[in-house]
Amino acid sequence: MSLFSFRWGMLFVAFVSSFAVRAEGVLLLPGEMAPLFALADADGKSHKLAEWRGRWLVLYFYPRDNTPGCTTEARAFRDHLSELNALKAQVVGVSVDTIESHRGFADSEKLPFPLLADVDGQVAHSYGALTNLAIMRFAKRHTYLIDPEGRIAIAYRDVDPSKHAEEIIADLKRLRTP
């Protein structure tokens, strides 16, 4: 093997490995306190985790606004919102998209719950939901059901966007039954 082909081979390996998927952050477990956050919604209003103390919080992370799976999931939460509200639960979506992107997505889908802009990915990272590709970052489709005291009740890491809202409703009913 010539030195020239060896260098090209090493360059190719470096290039390919730069596209490896890298998950960041830790996976939170039931019973742990949910990490604190303060993020802006589609209107630029800041929201903190403490704002929902005393209620159940469905904190769902999703990859991108206006993509098929993310739209399906958001519509399902929208369509089941009255049931979730009856169970004293607040739905909040988080992605690394911008406020402007969230505004367009929320308006086009008539989403009546906050979409929070985690542009630097710090909140997704703290919830173990940040994925880095060499050229882009996005939130993994994870959801945390947070109890009224601010603890993780259930961590969903394998989410089917079309059935997820119904899954959460069933779990909330089960958790709220004495």
Q: Enumerate the domain spans of the chain.
A: 21-176
**Annotated catalytic residue 35:** no
In this prediction, the residues of the chain whose per-residue pLDDT falls under 50 are 3-6, 8-23
pLDDT at 25 (0 to 100):
58
pLDDT at 9 (0 to 100):
46
End-to-end CA, the chain: 71
Given the residues 40, 70, 115, 172, select the one marked as catalytic: 70
Q: Which long-range contacts (CB under 8 A, 24 or more apart) does 8-17 make?
A: none
CATH superfamily of 21-176: Glutaredoxin (3.40.30.10)
pLDDT at 56 (0 to 100):
98
Q: Which residues contact 131 (CB under 8 A, 6 or more apart)?
A: 21, 22, 23, 24, 137, 138, 139, 140
pLDDT at 1 (0 to 100):
52
Do 146 and 152 meet the contact criterion of CB atoms below 8 Å apart?
yes
What are the tens digits of pLDDT across the range 6-40? 454 444 434 433 333 334 557 799 999 999 999 99
- Dihedral of alpha carbons 47, 48, 54, 60, sign: positive
pLDDT at 41 (0 to 100):
97
pLDDT at 4 (0 to 100):
46
pLDDT at 136 (0 to 100):
86
pLDDT at 46 (0 to 100):
97
